[in-house]
Amino acid sequence: MGNPFDLSGRKAVVTGANTGIGQGIAVALARAGADVALVGRSTASDTQSLIEREGRKAIQIRADLSSIAPTGDVVAQAIDALGRIDILVNNAGIIRRADALDFSEEDWDAVVDTNLKVLFFLTQAVGRHMVGWASQSGERGKIVNIASMLTFQGGIRVPSYTASKSGVGGLTKLLANEWAAKGINVNAIAPGYIATNNTAALQADENRNRQIMERIPEGRWGDPADIGGAAVFLASRAADYVQGHILAVDGGWLAR
């Protein structure tokens, strides 16, 4: 069977791959051998360059994933450029912060639409494609959702984010239940505190940074490459018998 983590010849779609965790995942998949379609509203030229340095193919698909409108076109473009989709990583997401007593319907809808509704309908479109080739080839499609520590915890001042990421966890299990027998693995990763541009303010806040570090048994912030390694595992043959699992990559935060 060879190396079970080898993704040579596999074709992946990663949303929100322009920077941070999405970039770390896309580059890790490429290093394992996959070609990657980078989907998002912002340019992902840096990620594309990093992938091409690995000798893999990368294409950019510009799409605003705040609504389901572009999902069909995203899938069509990816198939046209790559031939088929073997791996889907649903990383794109947003967050809005306010006390629950003051939280607006606009912020609720924006977050739940992007983080949960669009994730489902994009996955549905890719799933229909995967079921078609999996039934003929005997190979397996791999779907990896990006959940959160707030899939397990409540958090504060992020009601729509907590609701959406809790929904991602439940949806991951439901799709695994429905699609396992159809040749598709559906799992999720719940990242801990990862050092990215999005968390720069937290890292720079001396008191908050100290509080975070004191709770993480590993004693450090995570790196996007830490999430990339988990994504390679879940996207590979090594995870063929892993279904409906939410893998916390958090340095031990949830165990504390």
Residues 42-74 pLDDT 10s: 999 999 999 999 999 999 999 999 999 999 999
Which of 42-51, 59-68, 117-126, 191-200 has the least mean pLDDT? 191-200
Burial of 256 (0-12, 13-18, 19+ CB in 10 A): exposed
Active-site residue (options: 70, 151, 161, 176): 161
54 CB contacts (<8 Å, ≥6 apart)?
A: 27, 30, 31
Three-class secondary structure of residue 27 per DSSP:
helix
Integer CA distances (angstroms), 31 to 4, 105, 204, 230, in order: 14, 42, 31, 13
Whole-number pLDDT of residue 84: 97
pLDDT above 80: residue 123:
yes
| Residue 1 confidence (pLDDT) | 61
Q: How far apart are CA 24 and CA 37, in angstroms?
A: 14
Closest CA to 253 of 190, 204, 202: 190
Domain 11-248 falls under CATH 3.40.50.720: yes
> What is the pLDDT, as a whole number, of residue 138?
87
At residue 198 the predicted structure's pLDDT band, cuts being 50, 70 and 90, is confident
Looking at residue 2, what is its pLDDT? 87
Q: Residues of the chain with pLDDT > 70: what percent?
A: 100
State yes or no: pLDDT of 143 exceeds 80.
yes
- Give the pLDDT confidence of 208-250 residue by residue, as tens digits: 999 999 999 999 999 999 999 999 999 999 999 999 999 999 9
Confidence of residue 201 (pLDDT cuts 50, 70, 90): confident
CA 184/CA 176 separation, integer angstroms:
8
- Residue 69 structure tokens: 């409108």
Verify whether residue 161 is a known catalytic residue: yes
pLDDT above 90: percentage of residues in the chain? 95
Mean pLDDT of the chain: 96
pLDDT in tens, 87-116: 999 999 999 999 999 999 999 999 999 999
* pLDDT of 7 strictly over 80: yes
